[in-house]
Amino acid sequence: MALRLEDIHVRAGTFDLHASLSIEPGARIAVIGASGSGKSTLLDVIAGFRMPERGRLYWAERDITRLAPADRPVSILFQDINLFPHLTIGQNLGLALNPVTGRLRNDDASTIENVLAKVGLAGFAPRRLSEMSGGQQSRAALARVLVQARPVLLLDEPFAALGPALKDEMLDLVTEVARAENLTVLLVSHDPKDALRFAPQTIVVDDGQVFAPQDTRTLLDNPPPGLKAYLGGA
Ligand SMILES: Nc1ncnc2c1ncn2[C@@H]1O[C@H](COP(=O)(O)OP(=O)(O)OP(=O)(O)O)[C@@H](O)[C@H]1O
């Protein structure tokens, strides 16, 4: 059931990224590396926003290399709160469930209520973004990806704009949900503290080279020279 990147090569302009690694289901993994090293490019390939020139991507031994983003077992959360402000949170989650019509089917209302309860927003379905605090908005954005019930969750610095306490709260919430749902989560972050808090394992990206997951504590206690220089300046 692993997520496997087999000799993946991607090109973005003059930039090349190479990745060959396997991620166990249910793993929580931080992705760290200097600015421009290729962290977002890596997530884009897994999400299907960018096609590799070479190599294959597998989930549970199924080749998903050429699948459209919507057909992949993957959801992604960015820093932008990806919710329509003129709709209620319930309507936003309905759209995430049924992107074409946005119309709720029989079980959708209870699915939405369940997901909102999981992120600590029980009863918030009728609210709009403007009626919610920053922390609540982050929870709603997380609910929007969770409602899709995909087994792989990619987080591209989604909580970077939050203060440290709120950010920790969100990381702990994602940990709790990931454990309960056996989600495989990759978190891009510039902060080694996030990696330590959230991710038993870490992937280092260095100038387009993606390294296999390593134990986060061991890696940060004794970083290789390139990572040490980056962390020193972080
Ligand atoms: N469409 C593009 N055309 C040309 N170059 C690109 C394109 N997209 C990304 N790049 C280059 O690819 C490299 C990797 O970018 P990427 O966004 O993956 O880095 P990152 O590690 O996520 O950086 P940051 O931490 O600053 O977000 C960068 O050098 C970037 O300039």
Q: 135-159 pLDDT, tens per residue?
A: 999 999 999 999 999 999 999 999 9
Nearest-angstrom CA–CA distance, 172 and 19: 28
Q: What is the residue with the minimal CA distance to atom 1 of ligand 1?
A: 12
**115 and 142 Cβ atoms separated by less than 8 Å:** no
Report the candidate in 134, 110, 136 with the shortest Cα–Cα distance to residue 124: 136
Q: What is the residue with the minimal CA distance to atom 9 of ligand 1?
A: 12
Give pLDDT, residue 215.
98
Give pLDDT, residue 100.
76
Report the candidate in 192, 151, 142, 146 with the shortest Cα–Cα distance to residue 170: 142
49 lines ligand 1 (CB under 6 A): no
* Ligand 1 atom, smallest distance to 42 CA: 18
Q: Within 10 Å of residue 199's Cβ, how many Cβ atoms? A: 23
Class of domain 24-50+68-73+150-234: alpha beta
Phi, psi of 4, rounded to the nearest 5 degrees: -125, 125
**188 and 156 Cβ atoms separated by less than 8 Å:** yes
Nearest-angstrom CA–CA distance, 61 and 123: 39
Burial (CB < 10 A; 0-12, 13-18, 19+), residue 78, is: middle
Q: Six-digit token pair at 33?
A: 């590396």
39 lines ligand 1 (CB under 6 A): yes
Which residues of the chain, if any, have pLDDT below 50?
Answer: none
Q: 36 C-alpha to center of ligand 1: Å?
A: 5
pTM, entire model = 0.93
DSSP code, position 50: S
Report the candidate in 209, 234, 194 with the shortest Cα–Cα distance to residue 28: 194
Give pLDDT, residue 1.
66
Angle subtended by helix axes 108-118 and 89-97, to nearest 10:
120
Quick: pLDDT tens for 77-111. Answer: 988 878 999 999 999 999 999 877 777 777 888 99
Q: 38 C-alpha to center of ligand 1: Å?
A: 6
